[in-house]
Amino acid sequence: MAEPVRVRRLTDHEGQKLQQIVRRGSTSTVRYRRAMMLLASAGGNRVPVIAQLVQADEDTVRDVIHRFNEIGLACLDPRWAGGRPRLLKPDDEDFVIQTATTRPTKRGQPFTRWSLRKLVAYLRKVHGRIIRIGREALRGLLARRGVTFQRTKTWKESPDPERDAKLDRIEHVLDRFPDRVFAFDEFGPLGIRPTAGSGWAEQGRPDRLPATYHRTHGVRYFHGCYSVGDDTLWGVNRRKKGTVNTLAALKSIRAARPDGAPIYVILDNLSAHKGAALRRWAKKNRVDLCFTPTYASWANPIEAHFGPLRQFTIAKSNHPNHTVQTRALHAYLCWRNANARHRDVLTAERKERARIRSEKGIRWGGRPLKTAA
C-alpha cells in the first residue's frame, strides 16, 4: 500500500513563513490557498481533508505538496504556461525597456515622452527589427521590469569652487564651538492671504478657508536668528531684505553673547549678507561669518526650524493683516523656546548669560517682535 502524500519536515523559516501568510491573509489568493495546503499537510492532515478545507481537487493538493518537496516555498508562486507562444525573445524585451527609458527625441521622434500607443507604433516600424506587442502586453512588461510612469525631477549642484572648504568650516565650528555658533536667514515672502494647511477634523468635513483674489498688504520677510547651543529661535519681520536689516539681526546675535568673545554666524551668500559695512562691523565685533556654498543653503542649521514655523503659523491661517500675523509668529516662538526638548541641560553658564541679558535689557528670544519698515 502506497504511503500517503505529505510534505517533508518544514524548517523553522518555512514554518514561520507559511504561518505568517495564513494568519495575515494579505496576499494573493493563490499564495494563500497553497500556503494553507502546505501548513495543513505539515500538521498531519490527509489529502482528502485538505481538499475539503480549501475547496480544491485532491490531485491539485497532491501536485502542490510534491512541488513543495521539490523546490520549497517557490511553489507558492506558480509559473503557469499555456496560451499562445511568446512573441518576444529576451533580447527583444531588453530592447523594449531600453527604448521606453530613452527620450523619444534621441530616437528621432518629435515628442518629449512616450505614451503606450506611440511606443507600440514605434516598435513595430523601428529600422532593423520589428517588435509586435500590444499595449496591455507592453504595460505588463514595463511593470515586471520595474519601469513606471513618473514625474520629472530637477536637480541642482553647487558650482562653488570652495564648496568643500565652506562645508568643512561649518562642520568645524559646529563640532568645536557649538555654544558660540548661530545661524541667520530670511524666511518669506509672507503674504496676507488664506493659506491651505491640514489638521484634525470630522471625516468629510474639513475646515474651510475663504478664497481671495486681492493682495493689498504687500509682503514681509522674517529675519530669523537661531542659537545652536541654546536651541533658541528669534527674529523680526521686515518689509524687505537688505544689508541694514541683516546688520540689525547680527547685532542681536552679538548681544546674545555680550562677553566679547568670538562668535560664529552661519548664513548663505546672498548679496545682502556681504556688504562692506557689514563685514567691517563683523570684524570689529569679533563675529566670524561662515557662508554656505552656492545652492547649498541646506547646510544652514536654521533651515530645519523654518519648516515647523511655516506649518504652525502660516499653514491653515487667514490673518487679516501683518500685525496679527507677526503676533501669531511671536506667540509660536515664545511657546517653542519655552518648550525646547533639552531645557534640563541648561548650564550655569547659560543661566548667567540670561541674567546679563535681563540686566542690560537686551531684546531677543522671548521679547515681542516688531513689524519694522
Q: What are the tens digits of pLDDT across the range 257-277?
A: 988 899 999 999 889 998 899
With cell 541683516, the residue in question is 246
Residues linked to residue 182 through DSSP beta bridges, in sequence order: 227, 265
Confidence of residue 354 (pLDDT cuts 50, 70, 90): low
- Phi-psi bin for 168: left (phi > 0), alpha (psi -120 to 50), beta? alpha
Whole-model pTM: value is: 0.60
- What grid cell was written down for 363? 531684546
* Percentage of the residues of the chain whose pLDDT score is greater than 70: 89
Residue 191: alpha-carbon gap to chain centroid: 26
Q: What pLDDT, on a 0 to 100 scale, did the predictor assign at position 193? A: 86
Quick check: 373 pLDDT over 60? no
C-alpha to C-alpha distances, 132 to 89, 119, 189, 254, nearest whole angstrom: 11, 11, 55, 72
CB-based contacts of 285, cutoff 8 Å, min separation 6: 254
Integer Cα distance of 202 and 204 in angstroms: 6
What pLDDT is attached to residue 202? Answer: 85
pLDDT in the model for residue 368: 37
pLDDT exceeds cutoff 50 at 246: yes
Q: Is pLDDT of 370 > 50?
A: no
pLDDT tens digit sequence for 84-112: 667 778 888 899 999 999 999 998 899 99
Q: Do you find a cis peptide bond into 4, omega within 30 degrees of 0?
A: no
Q: Where are the beta strands (DSSP E) in 125-262?
A: 181-191, 219-227, 232-238
Burial 299-318 (b: 16+ CB within 10 A, else e): bbbbbebbeebeebbbeebe
Residues 188-243 have pLDDT tens digits of 888 888 888 888 888 888 888 887 777 888 899 999 999 988 888 999 999 999 99
20-68 residue pLDDT tens: 888 887 778 888 999 999 988 888 788 988 988 888 899 999 999 999 9
pLDDT confidence bin for 351, thresholds 50/70/90: low
Residue 41, SS3 per DSSP = helix
- Look at residue 267 and give its three-state secondary structure: strand
**CA proximity to 108, closest of 95, 120, 94, 122:** 122
- Of 122 and 364, the one with more pLDDT: 122
Task: Report pLDDT for 356.
Answer: 58
CA–CA separation, 98 and 58 (whole Å) = 45
